[in-house]
Amino acid sequence: MRHFDLCVIGSGSGNSIIDESFDDLSVALVDKGERFGGTCLNVGCIPTKMFVHPADLASSVEHAKRVGVDLGAASADWPAIRDRVFGRIDPISEGGEEWRRSNRNVTLYREAAHFVGPKRLRIGDETITADRFVLAGGSRPYVPDYPGLDDPQVAARVHTSDDIMRLDELPASLVIIGGGFVAAEFAHVFSAFGTKVTVLQRSEVMLRKEDADIAAAFTEQLASRVHLRLKQQIVGFEMTDRDTVIVESVDAKGIHYDFECERVLVALGRIPNGDLLNLAATGVETHPDGRVKVDEYQQTTVKGIFALGDMSSAAQLKHVANHEARVVQHNLLHPRRMIAADHRFIPHAVFSDPQVASVGLTEAEAKERGKPYVTARQNYGDVAYGWAMEDTDHFVKLIADPKTKRLLGAHLLGPEATTLIQPLIQAMSFDLDVPSMARGQYWIHPALTEVVENALLGLKL
């Protein structure tokens, strides 16, 4: 039975832990994924945003008309877009795997694994042990056991974010099931490229976990571009004789609907992969939703076993996984001087049209927690660059504590929201009060950042 000093499960953020600091240790790196490098590189953040950028360009045609510019009709070359994305990403994945195999102190296993005893891992036909483990195996898309999915013809046309981007052809029609990040982004991408998109969402709004004002505005604006049906429960799928799929749903009144399409995207969230590892055999405990339990040092209920990213974090975000990986790396190297992860102000973003970016409390959360708060809402269209854009739909909403004069939350909807939010994250992270942020620096005029400045000044503190 081979023994290692360290075993890392997962080749995404977990892989980044293993640098020259571990050259004197024997390390096992385990990943059964089809492609090396984890979710973000292969099927998540990076390829999706490489699709979003051309989608933004395609959808700019209508906006251009509002400012007197005729860009003609948008036309998307799906194979060229797809090949540009994966022509860059796949070599990075392959090169990363080849480089890891060349590391003299790292043994790479590309098979499924599960625990068979305390710190004892079965990998294919081999069992290994290790002094310490890092659980960084990520997550996978959740697909309910819908009636009709057992039909191979139907199953071949039902996709998740893992494979929808590698389609051979752009579908003429697509039904997206879900109302979160993934559904919102792919609705933008495919509709911008000319696909007839229908979104079926079970709740009353898209992005229901966002601040209520953001969710309502986003829902309204997305509905102007795609066929959006709310409060829909999926009943099942059925193949037609036209080589298409019928998605059947039912609304709150019990009325049934049939939606015919060439392809279906199921975007209902992701499941932590801890359930595939038989964690109980090594004593690691999990939350009811499957996430691995960790303390502030990212250590599990078993000393010497750490976890990070989607396997343990409720915030399934790459920047969170990367932060936790740095924490775990330090704690592996300095077990007597461990540091805690900082999960105070975790931002997130939705790269759809419009963009959404958020950090901190929503107004509803501030109210539920009984916190004193004030809000300010600043429209893009009320600042000079907003005039230049002829913007009528987008805004910044801030929530602050009138006693401490600190931001409690920031929520942005509109162009460049994912960039505009960064100074607000910085202010919260470094405990900068609102008056100092608003008046203690120059704000370039007439840059779009003035919408943030004016929102800060609008807080009645």
Provide the residue-wise pLDDT of the chain in tens; the chain has 461 residues: 999 999 999 999 999 999 999 999 999 999 999 999 999 999 999 999 999 999 999 999 999 999 999 999 999 999 999 999 999 999 999 999 999 999 999 999 999 999 999 999 999 999 999 999 999 999 999 999 999 999 999 999 999 999 999 999 999 999 999 999 999 999 999 999 999 999 999 999 999 999 999 999 999 999 999 999 999 999 999 999 999 999 999 999 999 999 999 999 999 999 999 999 999 999 999 999 999 999 999 999 999 999 999 999 999 999 999 999 999 999 999 999 999 999 999 999 999 999 999 999 999 999 999 999 999 999 999 999 999 999 999 999 999 999 999 999 999 999 999 999 999 999 999 999 999 999 999 999 999 999 999 999 999 99
Cα 259 off chain centre by: 27
Options 53, 334, 343, 445, the catalytic residue: 445
Q: 199: closest CA among 270, 261, 147, 144?
A: 261
- Is the peptide bond between 446 and the residue preceding it cis, with omega within 30 degrees of 0? yes
**C-alpha span between 390 and 384 (Å, rounded):** 10
**C-alpha span between 292 and 14 (Å, rounded):** 15
One-character DSSP codes across 45-61: HHHHHHHHHHHHHHHHH
Q: Which amino acid is at 376?
A: A
Q: 76: closest CA among 96, 56, 105?
A: 56
Q: Furthest-apart CA pair in the chain: how many Å?
A: 72
Q: Which amino acid is at 335?
A: P
**C-alpha span between 412 and 407 (Å, rounded):** 14
**C-alpha span between 195 and 188 (Å, rounded):** 10
Over residues 106-133, the pLDDT tens digits come to 999 999 999 999 999 999 999 999 999 9
445 is catalytic: yes
**C-alpha span between 220 and 183 (Å, rounded):** 15
Q: In what order do the strands lie in the sheet with 374-379?
A: 348-350, 356-360, 407-413, 395-400, 374-379
